[in-house]
Structure 1
Amino acid sequence: MSAESHGPDLVSAVALLGAAVVAVPLFKRLGLGSVLGYLVAGLVIGPYGIGLFSDAQSILHVAELGVVMFLFIIGLEMEPSRLWGMRQQIFGLGLAQVGLCIGLLMSVGVLMGLPPVVAFVAGTGFVLTSTAIVMQMLEERRMVGVQAGQRIVAVLLLEDLAIVPLLALVAFLASGAAETSAVARWQAVGVGLASIAGLIAAGLWLLNPMFRLLAEARAREVMTAAALLVVLGSALAMQLGGLSMAMGAFLAGVLLSESDFRHQLEADVEPFRGLLLGLFFLAVGMALDLAVIAANWATIAIGVVAYMLVKGVAIYGVARLARAGHREALERAVMMAQGGEFAFVLYAAAGAVGIIDAQTNAVLTATVIVSMVLTPVMIILHDRMVPPEEPSLDGVEAPQHSEASVLIIGFGRFGQMVGSSMLTRQCSISVIDTDPEMVREANAYGFKVHYGDGTRLDILHAAGAGRARMILCCVDDRDAALRILHLLKSEFRGIPVLCRAFDREHAMRLLAAGADEVVRETFESALTLGREALIRLHNSEEDADEVIATLRRRDAERFALESSQGMEAGRRLLLSHRQDWLGEGQAKAEARAAEQTRD
């Protein structure tokens, strides 16, 4: 038997990776965005392109995990207090937009000749915006953290919640389901609420202790496995409860947003999220059935234009009623005018209970996919026709000073003192450390410390190294300090890095690696103790200060010599300094003795 018959399907894997590697950079270079690159690449290699894949739906089911992981990472950025503050936007703005869009899109379907029930299902499916596409665009445009982006996230969350009652409504509309629909609906609601309650309980009382135990074991691969377990387990819990998998992952992320292990979790999940989300867009491109489009091109073209236009106008109107500015309302309308991946689920459920036939399902699905493909193009046109508004500085005073944004790596005795000095001037600091016990104790004393390994580039990114104004490496492991410094200087150029050194040799190695400032952990404390000892031996404070200043100057001379000529040159200079020091000491002693004799 050939190896190919039993080995992994490397052809498929290479085709998927190759399509992404070629298409995405090309489309980004052309200014068309990564999403459109993935969609076009999927169309080219899919069953309706060159035919490297025959079943796009099977890939799409797996790739939906990318959306799940994306929502988990977004949840990590949403602290419970912040989410509670968005409740009016979620249930006010979200309900208004969804309700108005359903009514208007159903009217569009009726005008296109669809029966009322079919028109309702078609319009309802198109209301559910593509979470994957919109969130990817928000991330690329750096809008997730701003108010305009958060309002879009609020609507997406409401739409994720709406899939449950909408599926129940589809079952109710099916013939023969009227007698059992009420009981089934209440059961579905009860199971869904139980799933949410169970997930919240696990997040509050189980997840942090579990990660603490795993962190103490110091097995990196197990921490990664645990992160994936949390994401997929929460998604499964919601799916079993009849809810959205993405909603379950988002809720798990929110519950862990204030955890000590937040940065570690984000860094562990991020690579899988990126790959699977790219795979999702590839699968959507593959699912674009060119034969159905060719046979029903007029219906699909009219449907895409009518649905997107009406939905966009409705979104714009709701945004303006909610006191959003024209630019924000227009941007939201363009970004959310398409249908989404949840429409596939709703149309499949409607087809399963006989509300729509296979042909209608294919046409509606193609309409949604075409709208998803057109969205990146519409965003590009929007950005070119409506350039970003220049911020006004009228009435804004120039700041007298700016608060520093500092990342501290390592929070033992040394790092804690450094961090305390930062806090006295209200500096904004982010702290990571690999000792879970220390993290727990530091948080108990009011410091916000996250668990994370500073020798990992993904952890540094998650902890905000790229946004910091200064980075302090305070770890007590000399090899780890050098690895961290090399990563920082290669990845985050221009950001000053101040390092704690173990001894003189370690300090020189850190300086050679590019450290902007190095402090030996015992040098300053030894000088302070020496000064105190001199004073207690009845030397004046002036003499003691002179001694310490001389020691500091000569140490700097020796350090500079050793850095340029080597340790042996420094040893010779040290011996010379000692001879000079003894001679000076002897001369001063003799002078004091002579003075005492004269007295």
Structure 2
Amino acid sequence: MDAHATPAFLHEVILFLILAGVLIPLLQRRRINPVLGFLAVGMIVGPFGLGQYTDSSDWLRYLTFSRTEDVEVFAEFGVIFLMFMIGLEMSVDRLWAMRRLVFGLGSLQVGISGLLIGGIAHAFGNSIESSVVLGLVLSFSSTAVVMQLLTQRRELGTPLGQSIFSVLLFQDLAVVPLLVLVTVLSQETGGSFAGLIGMAALKGVVTVALIYFIGRRVVRPLFHQIAANRQAESFMALTLLTTLGVAVLTREAGLSMELGALLAGLLIAETEFRHEVEVTIEPFKGLLMGVFFMSVGMGIDISAILAQPLLLPLSVIGVLTIKGLVLLVLFRSFGLSWGRATEGGIMLGQGGEFAFIVIGMALGLGLIAPAVGQFMLLTVGLSMLLTPPLTLLGRKLGDAIDARLGTPPVIEEPGLQQLSGHVIIAGYGRVGQLIGELLNEQGIPHIAIESDAKLVARLRADGAPVYFGDASRPELLRKFHLERAVAVVLTMDHTAAAVHAVKGVRATSPNIRIAARARDEAHAGALRDAGASVVIPETLESGLQLAGSVFETLGVPGDVATRLLEQERARRISVFRPG
């Protein structure tokens, strides 16, 4: 064996990391959607782009991917982590709060769009099984692209943003039975079609119940144990193990790994570790999703588009039009104005990333003819590329419609749990709990972050709004909407942790008021230098209370003693305010 032989995938890994290291900052600076950036780069450096010229230009081998198979393994991991992150977003409480939009609006959109698109597919000669799969999967939109656009425009909290999110959330939920359905349709050769669907539903229910049982008995206690030891590397390892382990379990059960990853996310979504896991997994998800979308771009053959200059554009327009019109009517029926309903229909008209997963599975299992599958993948990829410019057009068109027709009152869904005007308490021991109780008595909303897993478990059992995590991590603070909070209170015992938390809060929200508890005056000075607005040393309060007791013993009048103590408290606290 050659000692200098290049390990498998090393060239692809290095090239992708170079592209990601250069591409991601460039896209962020230009405010370009990263998903579309990776799609475009995949088309350029893939086997249908510059990669097809490596035989004539040998130096291109170092800058291109000559085979799509070279990145498929990494792309599959990207899809797994995408499904896991979606599962984390699907807590039962959130689904219940948005049930009208999620299960009403979302189910109608998938059902009507799937029926229309599937009917057209059947009219073009596809079997009923492949027509059902194509109709359902093309009714889905791109969560990655649309959520990125909503986040960039800061519209996720608007009525339109909530309506769009609800549709996407139901589509993500619908992936579960669809993945099961594809698997069952490929395995069963006899029986009625209704029987196959029933079998798919039964198999899905049994699998979900099994994963839930395993999670309750094994995964959650493991997270408690690892979190109690406060080892960040072990927490990350357990997160990855849960994601991949549950995915492997579903594969062994005859289902898909993507389904398992989604169930793993659902499993953790109801625990106090949800937000910390989101922050831990985010870097892996971002990079691997880049690989996935780059591999999608590599599969877009420009020559195939040129070979069908009429049918392919008509198919893209058809999908965008059918879904857009269905969504326009549904959004209007659920209370949005005609303008915002039009904008929402245009924004969600494209195909989604799940099409590459589901159609890829269906192709591998023989449910869809190869020519049809490749054509549909091209249709979805092109519709995703068109989404950002179409979204800009949709906003202008929606504004023009509302300006002409007027904007009727919007029906807002209650209980969306959008935190605003709240207090974030970092550290929920005795002091933090006391502050929480006082805030509750005054009706002030608050949420707490605590790094002691056992304490979090006990307090959550009593209904306290506390989550496991490290308050010094800006990513975690953003999960709790730090930008909309009115104040942050730090009560942690550990000096270094409290200083890091102050720096993290201040870096994320420069103007927010930070009140911090300090062990002593040295600790108070460090917190002040880190950016705390107010610092209260424990020794100060205990010393003032003891002094008050002495004044009482000496017969100093109560009002005089109170005034003296208040003056000293104010003088001492002023020393620990940032200058």
Interval of TM-score (by shorter of Structure 1 and Structure 2): 0.7 to 0.9
Unaligned stretches of 5+ residues in structure 2: 52-63, 411-418
Identify if the C-alpha distance between structure 1 residues 123 and 83 changes in structure 2 by more than 3 Å, giving closer, same or farther.
closer
Correspondence for 1:231 among 232, 240, 243: 243
What CA deviation, in whole Å up to 9, does each residue of 1:445-500 have, x standing for no partner?
54322111223333333344343221122111222222222333333211122221
Give me the whole-angstrom Cα distance separating, in 2, the residues matched to 1:367 and 1:316: 21
Consecutive unaligned residues in structure 1, runs of 5 or more: 396-401, 565-599
Q: Secondary structure at the match of 1:499?
A: strand
State whether residues 48 and 286 of structure 1, in contact with CA within 8 Å, keep that contact through their aligned partners in structure 2. Answer: yes
Q: How does 1:444-593 map to 2 (within 5 A)?
A: 444-542=461-559, 544-545=561-562, 548=565, 552=569
* Equivalent residues of 2:514, 2:534 under 8 A apart: yes
The question of whether the paired residues in 2 share the 8 Å contact of 1:97 and 1:318 is answered with yes
1:489-515 deviations in whole A, cap 9, x for unaligned?
Answer: 333211122221222222223223332
5 Å-filtered alignment, 1:114-513, equals 114=125, 122-142=134-154, 147-157=162-172, 159-164=174-179, 166-167=181-182, 171=186, 177-178=189-190, 188-241=200-253, 245-348=257-360, 351=363, 357-387=369-399, 404-513=421-530
**3-state SS in 2 of match to 1:53:** coil
Deviation at 1:221, TM superposition (A): 0.9
Output the amino acid matched with 2:240.
Answer: L
SS state of the match for residue 493, structure 1? coil
Which is worse superposed, 320-329 or 503-512? 320-329
Cα distance change, pair 375–159 in 1 and its aligned pair in 2 (3 A): farther
Distance change >3 Å, CA 524–CA 347, structure 1 → 2: closer
The one-letter amino acid of 1:379's match is T
Report if aligned partners of 1:163, 1:244 keep a CA contact under 8 Å in 2.
no
State the shift of 1:523 in Å.
0.9
Does the CA contact (< 8 Å) of 1:75 and 1:251 recur in 2? Answer: yes
Question: How far does residue 124 in structure 1 lie from its aligned partner after superposition?
Answer: 4.9
- 2:5 is aligned to 5
Distance 1:373 1:236, change over 3 A: farther
Normalization by structure 1: what TM-score?
0.79
Are 1:196 and 1:238, in contact at CA under 8 Å, matched by a contact in 2? no
Question: In the aligned structure 2, how far is the partner of 1:99 from the partner of 1:463?
Answer: 34
Which amino acid in the other structure matches residue 304 of structure 2? V
Aligned equivalents of 2:422 and 2:321: distance in 1? 44
SS of 1:5 mapped into structure 2: coil
Distance 1:451 1:540 in 2: 47
User: CA shift at 1:527, angstroms?
Assistant: 1.1
Helix, strand or coil: the match of 1:340? Answer: coil
Q: Deviations over 1:21-79 (max 9, x none)?
A: 54455555555533222211121111122221133356355334444434444443443
CA–CA distance in 2 between the matches of 1:336 and 1:375? 8
Instruction: Supply the distance in 1 between the matched residues of 2:82 and 2:365 (Cα, whole angstroms).
Output: 32
Identity %: 31
Shifted more, 136-145 versus 271-280: the winner is 136-145
Change (3 A) 1:506 1:164: closer
Higher Cα radius of gyration: 1
| Contact 1:80/1:255 (<8 A) preserved | no
Give the length in aligned residue pairs. Answer: 552
Going from structure 1 to structure 2, the CA distance change for 1:426 and 1:6 (only over 3 Å counts) comes to same
Task: Indicate how the Cα distance of structure 1 residues 375 and 552 shifts in structure 2: closer, same or farther if over 3 A, else same.
Answer: closer
SS of corresponding position for 1:163: helix
